[in-house]
Structure 1
Amino acid sequence: RCAELQIQLTEAVSGLAGQKELVAKLEHDLSTIQALSAVHRPDAEGAAIPSLEKIPEPIKEATALFYGHPPSPSAPFPEGQVDSLLSIISSQRERFRARNQELEGENRMMQHTVHALQSELDNLRADNIKLYEKIKFLQSYPGRGSSRDDTELRYSSQYEERLDPFSSFSRKERQRKYLSLSPWDKATLSMGRLILSNKTARTVAFFYTLLLHCLVFLVLYKTAWSESVGRDCAAFCAKKWV
Structure 2
Amino acid sequence: LSSSGATFPEGQVDSLLSIISSQRERFRARNQELEGENRMMQHTVQALQSELDNLRADNIKLYEKIKFLQSYPGRGSSRDDTELRYSSQYEERLDPFSSFSRKERQRKYLSLSPWDKATLSMGRLILSNKTARTIAFFYTLLLHCLVFLVSVRGFRSKTQPRGAGHVYADHVHKFHENGDAGDMWQ
- What TM-score do you get using the length of structure 2 for normalisation? 0.49
**Structure 2 runs not aligned, ≥5 long:** 150-184
Q: How far is the alpha carbon of 1:162 from its aligned partner?
A: 1.4
Query: Could you tell me how far apart the structure 2 residues matched to 1:144 and 1:167 are?
Result: 30
Q: How far is the alpha carbon of 1:151 from its aligned partner?
A: 1.0
Query: Could you tell me how far apart the structure 2 residues matched to 1:209 and 1:119 are?
Result: 46
Give aligned pairs, total: 149
Q: How far is the alpha carbon of 1:146 from its aligned partner?
A: 2.3
Pair 77,154 (structure 1): closer, same or farther in 2 beyond 3 Å: same
CA-to-aligned-CA distance 1:72-125 (integer Å, 9 cap, x gap): 989753232111101111111111111111111111111111111111111111
1:148 equivalent in structure 2: 79
Q: How far is the alpha carbon of 1:196 from its aligned partner?
A: 27
**Structure 1 runs not aligned, ≥5 long:** 1-71, 219-240
Query: Could you tell me how far apart the structure 1 residues matched to 2:11 and 2:146 are?
Result: 112
**Structure index of larger Rg:** 1
Pair 146,104 (structure 1): closer, same or farther in 2 beyond 3 Å: same
Q: How far is the alpha carbon of 1:163 from its aligned partner?
A: 1.3
Query: Could you tell me how far apart the structure 2 residues matched to 1:194 and 1:84 are?
Result: 60
Q: How far is the alpha carbon of 1:147 from its aligned partner?
A: 2.8
Q: How far is the alpha carbon of 1:192 from its aligned partner?
A: 26
Pair 191,96 (structure 1): closer, same or farther in 2 beyond 3 Å: closer
Task: Note if contact 2:60-2:86 (Cα within 8 Å) is conserved in structure 1.
Answer: yes
Deviates more, 1:130-139 or 1:143-152: 143-152
Pair 149,193 (structure 1): closer, same or farther in 2 beyond 3 Å: farther
- What TM-score do you get using the length of structure 1 for normalisation? 0.39
Pair 130,175 (structure 1): closer, same or farther in 2 beyond 3 Å: closer
Q: How far is the alpha carbon of 1:160 from its aligned partner?
A: 1.1
Q: How far is the alpha carbon of 1:142 from its aligned partner?
A: 1.1
Q: Any residues of structure 2 matched to 1:29-108 within 5 Å, and which?
A: 76-108=7-39
Task: Note if contact 2:63-2:83 (Cα within 8 Å) is conserved in structure 1.
Answer: yes
Pair 87,165 (structure 1): closer, same or farther in 2 beyond 3 Å: farther
Q: Any residues of structure 2 matched to 1:146-225 within 5 Å, and which?
A: 146-164=77-95, 166-167=97-98, 170=101
Pair 202,136 (structure 1): closer, same or farther in 2 beyond 3 Å: farther
Query: Could you tell me how far apart the structure 2 residues matched to 1:128 and 1:194 are?
Result: 34
Pair 168,78 (structure 1): closer, same or farther in 2 beyond 3 Å: same
Query: Could you tell me how far apart the structure 2 residues matched to 1:139 and 1:181 are?
Result: 46
Query: Could you tell me how far apart the structure 1 residues matched to 2:5 and 2:144 are?
Result: 105
Pair 105,74 (structure 1): closer, same or farther in 2 beyond 3 Å: closer
Query: Could you tell me how far apart the structure 2 residues matched to 1:210 and 1:86 are?
Result: 65
Deviates more, 1:203-212 or 1:177-186: 203-212
CA-to-aligned-CA distance 1:182-231 (integer Å, 9 cap, x gap): 9999999999999999999999999999999999999xxxxxxxxxxxxx
4+ aligned runs moved over 2 Å, structure 1: 72-79, 168-218
Pair 77,192 (structure 1): closer, same or farther in 2 beyond 3 Å: closer
Pair 189,121 (structure 1): closer, same or farther in 2 beyond 3 Å: closer
Deviates more, 1:205-214 or 1:105-114: 205-214
